Homo-oligomer: A and B are copies of this chain.
Amino acid sequence: MSVNTVYVGRKPILNYVLACMTLFKSGASEVLIKARGRAISRAVDVVEVMRNRFMPDIKVEDIKIGTEEMVSEDTNTPTNISTIEIKITR
Residues of B within 8 A of A82 (CB): 41, 44-45, 48
Q: How far is the CA of A36 from the CA of B39 in the complex (A)?
A: 14
Give the interface centre of A39, A48, A80, A82 by most chain B CB atoms within 10 Å.
A82
Contact, CB under 8 Å: A80 / B48: yes
Answer whether A48 and B66 are a contact pair too, CB < 8 Å, given A40-B41, A41-B37, A41-B41.
Answer: yes
Q: A17-52 CB contact bits vs B (8 Å, 1 = yes)?
A: 000000000000000000001111100110110001
**Given pairs A60-B65, A63-B64, A65-B86, 14 additional interface contacts (CB within 8 A):** A38-B38, A38-B41, A39-B41, A40-B40, A40-B44, A41-B41, A44-B82, A47-B65, A48-B65, A48-B66, A48-B67, A52-B67, A63-B63, A63-B65
> Chain A: residues with CB nearer than 8 A to chain B?
37-41, 44-45, 47-48, 52, 60, 63-67, 80, 82, 84, 86
